[in-house]
Every structure is written in C-alpha cells, then in structure tokens.
C-alpha cells in the first residue's frame, strides 16, 4: 500500500466528493422542493433521458455588483488582515526561535493557548472589550484621553482585529518552524563584516524565512476570505464579505444553486493561485537541487 494512499483517500472523501456535489447543485435550478433544486438528469416518459444544466448563475455573478463587491471586499479584508498578521507574528516567531529549548516549548504553549477555548467565545470576549462601555473605552475615558466612548465595534477595524487575533497562531507556527532552523553563524558573519542589524535582517533572515512567510500567509489568507462569524458579530452593516452572501443565499433566499455557484467561484479564486504558487515553489526547489 502506497504511503500517499491515506492522504489521497482523505482528499477524495473530504474535498473532491463535496466539490463535485456542490458543483452539481450549482448547475441545477432553484426549486420549491426538498431538496430545493432540480435534478440534472431526469427521465421523460421513461424513455428519454433529459439533461438540464443551467450556467446562468455563473454569468449572473459577474453581472451583479453585489457579488463582485462581496468578492473584492473579502479579498481586501483577507489581504490586509494577512499583512498585519505577518507584521505581528514575525517578531513573535523570531523571539521564540532565539530562546532555549525549554523556553521555546513554554512560549509555543502561550501562542497555542487561545485554541483551548472556542473561537466564538473569544470573539464575544472582544465584543465586550470593544463595545462603548467596554474595557478600552472605559480606560480611555478614565485617563481623560477621550470625552465620550469611541465607536470601535461594528467597524472594519474590529473585523481586522478579530481576524488577526484569531488567525495569528497560523502565522506564528510556520514562521517559527522556518526561523528555528536558521543558522545564526550567518548573522554573526554578517555583523563581523560590518552589516547593521537591519541589513542582516533584510539580506539573511527574511530571505531564508520566505518559505514560512508563504506558508503562513496561505494559512491565514484562505480561511480569512470565507470568514463569516467575525464579520457578522464585529463588523458593521456595510461590511460585505462572501461568507455573509453564502449564508443569505442558503438560509434566507433558499437558493442553493446560486449559493453553490458563489462557493465554486470563490474556491477557484483561492485554489488556482495557491496551486500555481506551489508549482512555482517546486520548480525553484528542483532548480536549486
């Protein structure tokens, strides 16, 4: 039995088959029935096999500004959140990588500590912190910095903060795995040659950490694009993301084919660049080899 057989079976069961099922629904038509969509194949008079495939929903996605705005908004929020997540995670990962073996385990446990509680509870905790009578506004008013509470909740700032906080460990761990293998003698040699710490960072540390940067950005960006809970609870009414559109199509409009078409396009937008990036990484690794 091949070593890759189990991962392939896993991908087939939990990615390929659900993808085919969703693709099938996206090509059907909405119907007031259970399930709420028509069959692609049906028999007419028990003699003629009829095939009904509807591509109109995919065309409608590029004609309706709502869906285009949702895709653009999701990509923008995910990209900005990934950038700030990288800015916060890189010094944390570098700090942990330079600790002793015993202290590394302690700091990694601290990074993983939020995963021990439900993400929903953590989001509600941030709601309590950011609301008008929350900790932040109360402290600022008490210090005299502001005269009245700031509108921190139900804003894009709250959404960015929630996503960065939630997905920060996904950025820290790949960066740590790469930085932990960094040969510090290279930094010592750079310092001996007169390079400043900033120069050594941009010429040695950052290039060698690029595999971890790419892995961390992918792990944060992909789930952030389809995030629903954080924008719904912490974002404002004008915070439009594709996760909310999917929810509305599935449960409010009960238009499963339209929702499936939205999901298929989003999956293509996410998977194709990741596959191209992975293919390019393999070509570079073979080229160096």
Tell me the pLDDT band of 166, cut-offs 50, 70 and 90: very high
Decide: 179 and 93 in contact? Cβ < 8 Å.
Answer: yes
Q: pLDDT tens for residues 240-273?
A: 888 888 888 888 888 999 999 999 998 888 887 7
Residue 287 has pLDDT above 70, yes or no: no
Q: How many CB atoms lie within 10 A of CB 246?
A: 19
Residue 278 has pLDDT above 70, yes or no: no
Q: pLDDT tens for residues 63-91?
A: 888 888 999 999 999 999 999 999 999 99
Q: What percent of the chain has pLDDT over 90?
A: 28
More confident residue, 261 or 187: 261
pLDDT of residue 284: 52
d(CA 145, CA 86): 30
Q: pLDDT tens for residues 121-158?
A: 899 999 999 988 889 889 989 888 888 888 888 889 99
pLDDT of residue 271: 80
> Number of H helices and number of E strands within the chain?
15, 2
In 3D, which of 151, 153, 161, 150 has the Cα closest to residue 80?
161
Tell me the pLDDT band of 179, cut-offs 50, 70 and 90: very high
Q: How many CB atoms lie within 10 A of CB 154?
A: 18
State CA 255 to chain mean position distance: 25
């Amino acid at each position: 039995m091949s070593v890759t057989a189990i991962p392939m079976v896993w991908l087939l069961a939990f990615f390929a088959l659900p993808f085919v099922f969703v693709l099938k629904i996206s090509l059907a038509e909405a119907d007031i029935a259970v399930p709420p969509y028509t069959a692609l194949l049906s028999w007419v008079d028990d003699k003629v096999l009829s095939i009904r495939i509807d591509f109109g929903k995919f065309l409608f996605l590029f004609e309706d500004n709502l869906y285009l705005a949702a895709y653009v908004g999701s990509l923008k929020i995910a990209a900005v959140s990934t950038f700030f997540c990288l800015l916060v995670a890189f010094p944390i990962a570098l700090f942990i990588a330079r600790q002793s073996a015993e202290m590394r385990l302690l700091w990694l446990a601290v990074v993983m500590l939020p995963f021990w509680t439900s993400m929903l509870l953590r989001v509600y905790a941030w709601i309590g912190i950011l609301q008008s009578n929350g900790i932040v506004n109360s402290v600022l008013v008490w210090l005299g910095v502001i005269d009245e509470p700031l509108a921190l909740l139900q804003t894009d700032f709250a959404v960015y903060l929630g996503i960065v906080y939630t997905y920060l460990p996904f950025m820290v761990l790949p960066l740590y795995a790469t930085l932990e293998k960094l040969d510090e003698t290279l930094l010592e040699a750079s310092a001996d040659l007169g390079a400043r710490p900033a120069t050594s960072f941009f010429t040695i540390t950052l290039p060698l950490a690029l595999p971890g940067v790419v892995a961390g950005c992918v792990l944060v960006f992909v789930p952030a694009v389809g995030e629903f809970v954080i924008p719904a609870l912490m974002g404002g009414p004008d915070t439009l993301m594709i996760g909310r559109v999917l929810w509305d199509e599935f449960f409010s409009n009960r238009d499963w084919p339209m929702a499936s078409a939205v999901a298929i396009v989003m999956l293509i937008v996410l998977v194709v660049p990741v596959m191209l990036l992975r293919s390019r990484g393999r070509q570079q690794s073979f080229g160096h080899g």
